[in-house]
Amino acid sequence: MANNQNANVANIERLNQLMDENGCSAVVARSGKNFTYLAGFAYPGTLARHLDFPDSPRGVLVIWPRQGNPVLVVNETAAPLARRDGWIEDVRLYDGYAESAYAKTAEILVEMGLQNETIGLEKDYLSMLQWEEIASHLPNANLTDCTDLMDRVRWIKTPEEVELLKKGADLLDEVYLEVFPTVRPGDTERDVHARIVEGCIRRGANWVHGILNTSRNDVAYGGEGDMAFQSGDIIRNDYVSYLNGYPGHQSRTVVIGEPTKELLDTYKTHRDIYRGTIDMCRPGAKASDIYHFSNNAFNDAGFKGKVNIAGHGVGAWWHQQEPYMVPSGKHILEKGMVVALEPHIGHWHLQDMVLVTDAAPLLLSPLINTDEMMVAG
């Protein structure tokens, strides 16, 4: 039996409202973000990735009926954590290497009396074979895609979720403040990365991932190697540290040694564009407009290249979620969203999470003053 170590912080009122609007009698959460959101706990590290792989024999699901109690469908490997940390009482097991989680899910839906109802499935996270398998067991059910429905539920945060995101942000910035000032010429990417990961785990993070490279490394996001930092290098970094399933997600621009006037001027230009982009994050703003503001600002300032992504939503389990601030971003920002803003070109990477409010965006990661770039060495 679950011991309710983690409280249910999901926006259940909004979930019920959108299920009613879409005529769904139940939704089945298969993705890591929606499983974590509804189940109230997170699988760490490698096991967590199994939540999103359609071919995983360790898939875990939440069956959420509009009426009645939810059910977890998990394999034997995943069950102990579900019982220890989750709040859902009804945990059903299947043999991950001998039984189908989807046949088990259909069986439970029949048990709930929903075999003739509209059932929401996440089309983005099920293979065609898995969808067809569920359909074969529920020939009279109306199976519909609930991916967008669940995105819309998750992106309006409860106060409890905002508090978890603040704690995750504080944890990551505390590690940055501990590690970055101590970096010296001769330290390698691998060494500094290890210190950041260790610092996050030591402070209680469930798991952490990210990248850290010298500005002389042309293979960004290619992993950390033995390239040593030199005086004048910028430490490019982009980390996510998870605390109780919610991410702290910030990036800081750090220079090794005393910065030149050119570096200071370049940083200030990036900082001002980044702050202007944050200021656009108000109710009614369109995601694509936020992207174009930042990209045009960099072009007007004379920078070559383009912004790949100006920002994105954050939430349970995974740090990148809708809405995405990209050229094709169609979503409109709403009060209660939390977004991470990271407009940048090259290794000049600043990033913070903000809460969209009726007033100015509220910074959730205020520990580090970004007026000036951080200095190491």
Could you tell me the residue ranges of all domains in the chain? 12-154, 159-376
Distance CA 113, CA 267 (A): 60
Predicted local confidence at residue 221, as pLDDT: 77
Q: Mean per-residue pLDDT for 303-309?
A: 93
User: Kindly report the CA angle at 209 between 36 and 322, in degrees rounded to 5?
Assistant: 50
Other CB atoms within 10 A of residue 115 CB: 15
Residue 236's SS3 state is strand
Residue 2 has pLDDT above 60, yes or no: no
Which pair of tokens denotes residue 150?
């669940």
Residue 3 has pLDDT above 60, yes or no: no
| pTM for the predicted model, two decimal places | 0.92
Show the DSSP H helices in the chain as ranges. Answer: 12-21, 32-39, 45-49, 79-85, 101-111, 128-137, 147-154, 159-179, 189-202, 261-279, 287-300
Distance CA 117, CA 130 (A): 19
Backbone φ/ψ region at 326: left (φ over 0), alpha (ψ -120 to 50), beta: beta
Q: How far is CA 375 from CA 179, 254, 264, 313, in A?
A: 11, 6, 11, 29
Residue 174's SS3 state is helix
pLDDT-wise least confident of 124-128, 279-283, 350-354: 124-128
Residue predicted with more confidence, 78 or 350? 350
Which pair of tokens denotes residue 1?
């039996």
Distance CA 334, CA 122 (A): 23
Contact 93, 76 (CB under 8 A): yes
250 CB contacts (<8 Å, ≥6 apart)?
169, 172, 173, 176, 239, 340, 351, 352, 353, 365, 368
Residue 8 has pLDDT above 50, yes or no: yes
Q: Check for a shared fold between 12-154 and 159-376.
A: no
Which pair of tokens denotes residue 102?
């989807």
Predicted local confidence at residue 51, as pLDDT: 66
* CATH number assigned to the domain with residue range 12-154, chosen from the 4 options 3.40.350.10, 1.10.1740.110, 3.40.50.2300, 3.90.1530.10: 3.40.350.10
The percentage of residues in the chain with a pLDDT greater than 90, rounded to a whole number, is 80
Predicted local confidence at residue 4, as pLDDT: 46
Contact 59, 98 (CB under 8 A): no
Predicted local confidence at residue 106, as pLDDT: 98
The percentage of residues in the chain with a pLDDT greater than 70, rounded to a whole number, is 96
* CATH number assigned to the domain with residue range 159-376, chosen from the 4 options 1.10.3720.10, 3.90.230.10, 3.30.1310.10, 3.40.640.10: 3.90.230.10
User: Kindly report the CA angle at 336 between 334 and 341, in degrees rounded to 5?
Assistant: 80
Q: Which residues pair with 27 in a beta bridge?
A: 64, 120
Rg of the chain on CA atoms, in Å: 22
Tell which residue, 339, 316, 243, 322, has the closest CA to residue 38. 316
123: confidence class by pLDDT, cuts 50, 70, 90: very high
Residue 320 has pLDDT above 70, yes or no: yes
Predicted local confidence at residue 59, as pLDDT: 81
Counting every residue written for the chain, the total comes to 377
User: Kindly report the CA angle at 261 between 172 and 174, in degrees rounded to 5?
Assistant: 10
